[in-house]
Structure 1
Amino acid sequence: MSNAELYGKGVFTTIAMRAGEPFLWEKHWRRLVRDAGKVGLDLAQHTEESTRKALDERTIRNGRARITFSDESESALWGGDGATSIRLSIITAGQRVIPKSFRLTISPFSVNSQSPLSGVKSCNYLENILALDEARERGFAESIRLNERGLVTGGCMANVFWTRGSRLFTPSLSTGCLAGTTREFVLERFDCREAEADVEVLRRADAIYLTSAGLGIAAISEFEGRELRVDEHPIMRALDRM
């Protein structure tokens, strides 16, 4: 059996497709290469050009595409000969539906900011899925995960931003949050402070937003039972201008 099957060894990214073009392609490719290096994947046989060509052949105009590089080499712990085999796979789907009432809670499952997979979008993603399932079983659309120090990292499947007065904030990468491509897009366009903040800061926030390639930028209507204003902060129109 392969390292991907046994250990989830691989990396992926989800890209928003807009009018047939992969949005923020350069950012996604840069992160794929970086994350592949962190988990020990050699992408030498998959160039940026060949990967982009494979994506273009999917012919999806509007929606999302997931690009995955997985280690199909046989595990050395189970008699593998050490031969390298990295597989590229691409799946596509329509855009995610944003719930009209976007309710957010706190996850009971913490993030280990000292993990070697911290900040890596690896195929070992079951922990995030279980955290999301737990939130949905309680009637919420998403949940905020804290790290081992009680600091906000982000959602199960998204980065988080919040406002207090006129200021915009997001967790710093030191918390163990994912360096999301939409997060990077927002940081390049707005005066935003990257902060180490505990959950009480979110409880006092005027507005909360989740960002990801699948969601775009979504405003939260309720956090931990407290209704939030779904205001017209410029962040909500950032993607419309592209």
Structure 2
Amino acid sequence: MTLPQVPFDDRGLAYGDGVFETVLLRNGKPVLWAYHVARLVKGCQRLGIPVPCQEAIDATWQGNATAPLEVLKLIVTRGSGGRGYALPDTPTPRLLSRRTSFAPMVERWKSGVTVRICRIRLAHQPALAGIKHLNRLENVMARQEWQDVSIAEGLLADAQGQLIEATSMNLFWQQHGELFTPPLDTCGVAGTLRAALIAEGAVREANLTLEALPAVERAWVANSVQGVWPVATLLSEDADCLQRWPINQPDKLQTQAHRLLGYASTYTASPDLFC
């Protein structure tokens, strides 16, 4: 497959002036597609980028499946033009996409993961909060904080110590038997799986500070591609152990989320995983 070349003057390349989506395809069909399209449209509208037509967006996934599971990455930039930060008079958005085969990390569903708290703090910018814009330098810098392959994710808080998200996943926790996720009205990415779980009433928003995190009953990180990873071990910024949580099955959050994603409830690498 020949991929389109991005010109040197593309504003997405130059300024991060655009949005993107990462979509799970099951047998060639997008999972949680309505949520992905809604977030893409919201992001374009927030940035003032003309929204590509629905036919063009749908064409990014239509065609023969190359594997039972694939990941579609879809990027919309404002296109080229404008002088410096000034916008072009008539922007012509550029829509790019790529499909790759995919397999989830099933062992992490079963055994849970180790996560650490990141030193970097997320800045507040309500105008960009929730959307998946192309400027993700805070997340890139946070991911540089560890190289230990036993650490699966890093948790990000804002300057006030309120937990927001993981570097590429949303955060969930249980307290008094209820499931929660942080509000994302000042920063962070509102994941599509998170949105679907909130819409179903399975999860609700609540604040959680860094200091209070070790005292919660359970914790998870999740997104719409990898599914739900229970957190087994929580590490500090200095990689000291702060908490260990038991990994119990059945897992209520994982069961509800994986039903939405079409993942089997039995955690094996058998073909049933992809039905």
Task: Supply the distance in 2 between the matched residues of 1:218 and 1:162 (Cα, whole angstroms).
Answer: 12
1:235 to 240, 247, 253: 253
Local SS of the residue matching 1:49: helix
1:161 aligns with 2:172: yes
User: Where does residue 57 of structure 1 map in the other structure?
Assistant: 63
Q: Which ranges of structure 1 fall in alignment gaps of 5 or more residues? A: none
* Structure-2 residue corresponding to 1:141: 152
Aligned residue for 2:192? 181
Pick aligned residue for 1:150 from 121, 136, 161: 161
Moved more, 181-190 or 5-14: 181-190
TM-score relative to the length of structure 1: 0.89
Q: Shift of the alpha carbon at 1:78?
A: 8.2
Instruction: Give the deviation of 1:88 after TM superposition.
Output: 1.0
In the TM superposition, structure 1's runs of 4+ consecutive aligned residues that sit over 4 Å from their partners are 78-81, 98-101
Instruction: Number of aligned residue pairs: give it.
Output: 240
Report the AA paired with residue 63 of structure 2: E
| TM-score using structure 2 length | 0.79
Q: What percentage of aligned pairs have identical amino acids?
A: 22
Unmatched tracts of structure 2, length 5 or more: 1-8, 236-240, 261-275
Larger helix proportion, structure 1 or 2? 1
Q: CA deviation at 1:104?
A: 0.6
Instruction: Say if 2:38 is the partner of 1:27.
Output: no
Q: Please list the CA deviations of residues 133-185 of structure 1 after superposition, one character each: whole Å capped at 9, or x if unmatched.
A: 31345852111110121101010101110112312111012352322110011
Deviation per residue, 1:194-232 (Å, 9 max, x gap) = 111101222112211112122111111211222211223
User: Counterpart in 1 of 2:81?
Assistant: 74
Residue type of the alignment partner of 2:26: R
CA distance in 2, matches of 1:120, 1:210: 18
Deviations 1:30-81 (A, max 9, x none): 11000011122112xx211221123213634413211110122123228986
Q: CA RMSD in A?
A: 2.3
Residue 10 (structure 1) aligned with residue 21 (structure 2): no
Whether contact under 8 Å (1:70, 1:86) holds in the other structure is yes
Deviation string 1:76-132 (CA, Å, 9 cap, x unpaired) is 228986442211111223134364551111111111123532222111123212212
Given the superposition, is the C-alpha separation of residues 101 and 27 from structure 1 closer, same or farther in structure 2, using an over 3 Å criterion?
closer
Q: Is the 8 A contact 2:25 2:69 kept in 1?
A: yes
CA distance in 1, matches of 2:149, 2:69: 31
